[in-house]
């Protein structure tokens, strides 16, 4: 199900709007509309934390004010993303139904306060959420001004209450059937941790069981499932009265507590909140990090997504509230669109007067007039988005995929050895990503449950834990002609974190790579080895050095020092019609640069642009006939970019053969060339 865009609206521009904090100030509410229009805002998210206004007493609903707000927005050409209020519970509810308050891992129940802290299992909370969602949907779900449901807000956190634990036991019973099976899978004979019944199982806590890795993994899986289940209950409640309205929830940046890939099927639209730390000077490293997460969001459904929150300037929860440098608002916002977003939304429209976010960046500051730099930036961006509206709905075509698997991350985090001072899984994924990013090569970011068809290359660093039949998919992929890039620390354990017997990489992957991985040397911080290629070129290695034996693969490079000097450190194996590379140790940027430069040329991976100056990001989106080239300059310095094809600048409406981008400038160009 897609958002039905109203006539004349393409890219969404707006953000969180909290009129419930200003109901006693009709003058301000009126001013808001004037300012929204001035800022070219066409869409706001309403009701996110409004529960106390919507249901001031149990069972007493007041939606009149909300309807009036939505009516008024609509009459003024501004559309609504309507939130369900479950992200923060009213005080009366929290006090009356103690069970809805979360219990921490120290087994202490929360006091009333904060947000995002309800128990996802509590039947009371679920009942209250169903009821309020039903009220909202019945009254406003068919309002012509409402485009989309915004479920809750940033689902997050974990509850250890007795009820959650019982649910966990049920979940385990369903998964394993018999306790004996669980004991086998969790290897509980270790340290006499054998369970006699599911009722004995307690979620992992610091002063209890934390060493059974199968338990820790399953608890995290359960937590994700429980949140998705809660979300699905929210969806059912709104669908009952508004079956035509699509649903989203705002996901987060660098959020590893849940497996977001499990959310994708329940949602119609993916949206997320992005808060990078932009600063002065060259921001390209930061830009590359955010780019990866934009790509995660786009890849979840392989569809355009929405940037649901970003800040117009400062983010007050960071160590320091840096102002976005002049221009950065354009570059950062366009980066989202370039990677597949069909919106630029903010937290928030008007700055509140009190409490903990009163100094967070907002479109309208306490001064209340459109005179701030933030406001002008937003206004300019609104105009800009209107000019480039035709890019809405266009797709990103990725011929290569990068694997970032959350369950693999969880397992690596628990692992114990070979480097308790830092395995750096996410950083490693980022390192591989960077080489493609610099070359304007689009990547999908996928997990082990995703399909591989359609890709020429799959890059799967540190695939420690194999699950969901991924090994078979990789095997088939290579057999049929795909190229696989794997690394050290691959195929060590199965989905329950049990080590493979009979050699690594397990599950037949050893055959695909033509390599047997015997053991790993975990290096201290600062220690180095090197990878010496056949042609004598050397690259620095660090952190993890796998000692491998070739079983059919051909060595492309060798260790340069230590007792394993001269042993293979990089290899390639022909398998079926494809090839599988194996990098045995953690390399640095120079290696990834050279390696992927060569490989991407061999595979003819499409690039958005051939010559990309340092610090500039180039991305492409495609519609049926057109190709859109997005260039964002994150370098902080002026850059000149030559364009090989005839391009048309969507904003200046001129043909371009070359563009000059100052500091943090951006441009969107169109070509019909294939």
Pick 159 or 247: Cβ nearer Zn ion: 159
314 contacts Zn ion (rule: CB under 5 A): no
Can you give the binding site for ligand GLA, defined by CB under 6 A? 153-154, 273, 275, 309, 315, 317, 347, 357, 360
**Are the C-beta atoms of 341 and 391 separated by less than 8 Å?**
no
Please identify, among the stretches 161-169, 346-354, 421-429, 584-592, the one whose residues bind Zn ion according to the rule CB under 5 A.
161-169
Q: How far is the CB of 247 from ligand GLA (least distance, A)?
A: 17
Among candidate residues 253, 195, 259, 183, the one with its CA nearest the CA of residue 222: 259
Pick 120 or 477: Cβ nearer ligand GLA: 120
DSSP class of residue 280 equals S
Q: Find the catalytic residue in 55, 167, 309, 374.
A: 309
Please identify, among the stretches 162-170, 190-198, 238-246, 422-430, the one whose residues bind Zn ion according to the rule CB under 5 A.
162-170
Pick 121 or 303: Cβ nearer Zn ion: 121
Pick 116 or 373: Cβ nearer ligand GLA: 116
Round to whole Å and give the CA distance between 37 and 14. 10
Rounded-to-10 torsion of CA 164, 168, 174, 180: -150
Pick 119 or 629: Cβ nearer Zn ion: 119
Pick 166 or 537: Cβ nearer Zn ion: 166
Q: How far is the CB of 317 from ligand GLA (least distance, A)?
A: 6
* Cα–Cα distance list, 553 to 541, 549, 573, 603, 636 (Å): 21, 9, 4, 20, 45
Report whether the peptide linkage leading into residue 454 is cis, meaning its omega lies within 30 degrees of zero.
no
Q: Find the catalytic residue in 55, 154, 289, 495.
A: 154
Which of 43, 146, 161, 547 is the binder for Zn ion (CB under 5 A)?
Answer: 161
Contacts of residue 20, defined as CB under 8 A and 6 or more positions apart, other chains included, come to 47, 49, 50, 53, 65, 66
Round to whole Å and give the CA distance between 498 and 518. 17
Residues facing 309 on adjacent strands: 273
DSSP class of residue 123 equals H
Q: Is 636 left (phi over 0), alpha (psi -120 to 50) or beta?
A: left
Residue 507 falls in the annotated catalytic set: no
What is the β-pairing status of strands 585-587 and 627-633? unpaired
Q: How far is the CB of 54 from ligand GLA (least distance, A)?
A: 17
**Are the C-beta atoms of 85 and 130 separated by less than 8 Å?**
no
Report whether the peptide linkage leading into residue 418 is cis, meaning its omega lies within 30 degrees of zero.
yes
154 binds, among Zn ion, ligand GLA, none (CB under 5 to 8 A by kind): ligand GLA
Q: How far is the CB of 313 from ligand GLA (least distance, A)?
A: 11
529 binds, among ligand GLA, Zn ion, none (CB under 5 to 8 A by kind): none
Round to whole Å and give the CA distance between 462 and 586. 10
32 binds, among Zn ion, ligand GLA, none (CB under 5 to 8 A by kind): none
> Residues 574, 575, 579, 585: is their CA dihedral positive or negative?
negative
Q: How far is the CB of 356 from ligand GLA (least distance, A)?
A: 8
218 binds, among ligand GLA, Zn ion, none (CB under 5 to 8 A by kind): none
What stretches of 246-283 show up as alpha helix (H) in DSSP?
A: none
- The phi, psi pair for 102, rounded to 5°, reads -70, 155
Which of 137, 164, 270, 459 is the binder for Zn ion (CB under 5 A)?
Answer: 164
Q: How far is the CB of 252 from ligand GLA (least distance, A)?
A: 7
Pick 36 or 159: Cβ nearer Zn ion: 159
Which residue of this chain has its Cβ atom nearest to ligand GLA in the complex? Answer: 273
Q: How far is the CB of 48 from ligand GLA (least distance, A)?
A: 7
Please identify, among the stretches 154-162, 298-306, 391-399, 643-651, the one whose residues bind Zn ion according to the rule CB under 5 A.
154-162
Strands (E), 269-363: 271-273, 306-309, 343-346
159 binds, among ligand GLA, Zn ion, none (CB under 5 to 8 A by kind): Zn ion
Round to whole Å and give the CA distance between 125 and 128. 5
How many other β-carbons are positioned within 10 Å of the β-carbon of residue 49? 21
Pick 119 or 612: Cβ nearer Zn ion: 119
100 binds, among ligand GLA, Zn ion, none (CB under 5 to 8 A by kind): none
Residues numbered 83-122 forming contacts with Zn ion, rule: CB under 5 A:
119, 121
Strand, helix or coil at 131? Answer: helix
- The H or E element spanning position 217 is helix 213-239
Pick 104 or 671: Cβ nearer Zn ion: 104
Give the gyration radius of the chain's Cα atoms.
26
Which of 41, 66, 159, 465 is the binder for Zn ion (CB under 5 A)?
Answer: 159
188 binds, among ligand GLA, Zn ion, none (CB under 5 to 8 A by kind): none
Q: How far is the CB of 518 from Zn ion (least distance, A)?
A: 45
Residue 309 falls in the annotated catalytic set: yes
**Are the C-beta atoms of 132 and 149 separated by less than 8 Å?**
no
Q: How far is the CB of 164 from Zn ion (least distance, A)?
A: 3
User: Interface residues with Zn ion (CB under 5 A)?
Assistant: 119, 121, 159, 161, 164
Catalytic center residues: 154, 309
């Amino acid at each position: 199900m897609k958002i039905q865009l109203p006539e004349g609206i393409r890219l969404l521009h707006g953000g969180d709007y909290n009129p419930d904090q200003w109901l006693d100030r009709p003058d301000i509410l009126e001013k808001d509309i004037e300012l929204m229009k001035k800022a070219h805002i066409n869409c706001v998210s309403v009701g996110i934390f409004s529960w106390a206004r919507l249901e001031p007493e149990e069972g007493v609903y007041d939606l009149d004010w909300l309807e009036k707000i939505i009516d008024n927005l609509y009459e003024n050409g501004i559309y609504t993303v309507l939130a369900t209020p479950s992200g923060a519970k009213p005080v009366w509810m929290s006090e009356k139904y103690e069970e809805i308050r979360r219990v921490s891992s120290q087994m202490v129940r929360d006091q009333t306060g904060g947000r995002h802290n309800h128990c996802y299992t509590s039947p009371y909370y679920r009942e209250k959420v169903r009821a309020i969602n039903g009220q909202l949907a019945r009254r406003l779900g068919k309002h012509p001004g409402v485009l989309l449901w915004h479920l809750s807000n940033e689902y997050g956190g974990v509850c250890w209450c007795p009820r959650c634990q019982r649910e966990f036991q049920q979940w385990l019973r369903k998964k394993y059937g018999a306790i004996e099976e669980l004991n086998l899978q969790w290897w509980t004979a270790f340290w006499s941790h054998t369970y006699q019944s599911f009722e004995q199982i307690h979620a992992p806590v610091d002063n209890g069981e934390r060493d059974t890795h199968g338990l820790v993994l399953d608890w995290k899986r359960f937590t994700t499932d429980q949140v998705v289940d809660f979300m699905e209950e929210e969806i059912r409640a709104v669908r009952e009265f508004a079956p035509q309205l699509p649903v989203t929830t705002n996901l987060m940046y660098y959020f590893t507590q849940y497996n977001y890939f499990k959310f994708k099927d329940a949602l119609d639209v993916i949206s997320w909140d992005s808060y990078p730390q932009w600063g002065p000077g060259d921001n390209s490293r930061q830009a590359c990090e955010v780019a990866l997460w934009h790509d995660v969001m786009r890849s979840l459904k392989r569809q355009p997504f929405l940037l649901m929150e970003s800040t117009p300037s400062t983010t007050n929860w960071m160590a320091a509230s840096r102002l976005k440098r002049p221009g950065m608002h354009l570059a950062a916002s366009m980066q989202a669109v370039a990677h597949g977003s069909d919106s630029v939304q903010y937290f928030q429209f008007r700055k509140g007067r009190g409490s903990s976010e009163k100094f967070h960046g907002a479109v309208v500051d306490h001064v209340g007039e459109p005179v701030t730099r933030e406001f002008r930036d937003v206004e300019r961006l609104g105009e800009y988005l209107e000019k480039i509206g035709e890019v809405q709905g266009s797709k990103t075509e990725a011929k290569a995929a990068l694997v970032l698997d959350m369950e693999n991350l969880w397992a690596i985090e628990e692992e114990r050895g070979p480097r308790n001072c830092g395995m750096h899984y996410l950083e490693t994924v980022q390192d591989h990503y960077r080489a493609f990013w610099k070359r304007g090569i689009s990547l999908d970011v996928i997990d082990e449950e995703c399909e591989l068809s359609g890709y020429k290359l799959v890059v799967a660093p540190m695939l420690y834990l194999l699950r969901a039949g991924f090994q078979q998919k990789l095997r088939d992929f290579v057999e049929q002609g795909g190229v696989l890039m794997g690394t050290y620390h691959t195929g060590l354990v199965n989905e329950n974190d049990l080590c493979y017997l009979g050699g690594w990489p397990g599950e037949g992957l050893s055959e695909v790579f033509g390599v047997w991985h015997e053991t790993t040397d975990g290096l201290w911080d600062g220690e180095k080895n090197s990878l010496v290629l056949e042609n004598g070129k050397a690259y620095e290695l660090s952190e993890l050095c796998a000692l491998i034996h070739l079983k059919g693969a051909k060595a492309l490079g060798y260790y340069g020092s230590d007792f394993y000097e001269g042993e293979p450190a990089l290899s390639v194996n022909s398998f079926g019609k494809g090839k599988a590379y194996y990098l045995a140790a953690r390399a640095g940027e120079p290696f990834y640069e050279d390696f992927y430069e060569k490989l991407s040329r061999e595979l003819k991976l499409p690039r958005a642009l051939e010559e990309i100056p340092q610090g500039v990001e180039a991305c492409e989106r495609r519609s049926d006939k057109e190709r859109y080239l997005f260039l964002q300059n994150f370098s902080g310095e002026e850059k000149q970019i030559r364009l090989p094809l005839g391009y048309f600048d969507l904003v200046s409406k001129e043909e371009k053969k070359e563009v000059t981008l100052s500091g943090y400038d951006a441009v969107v160009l169109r070509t019909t060339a294939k």
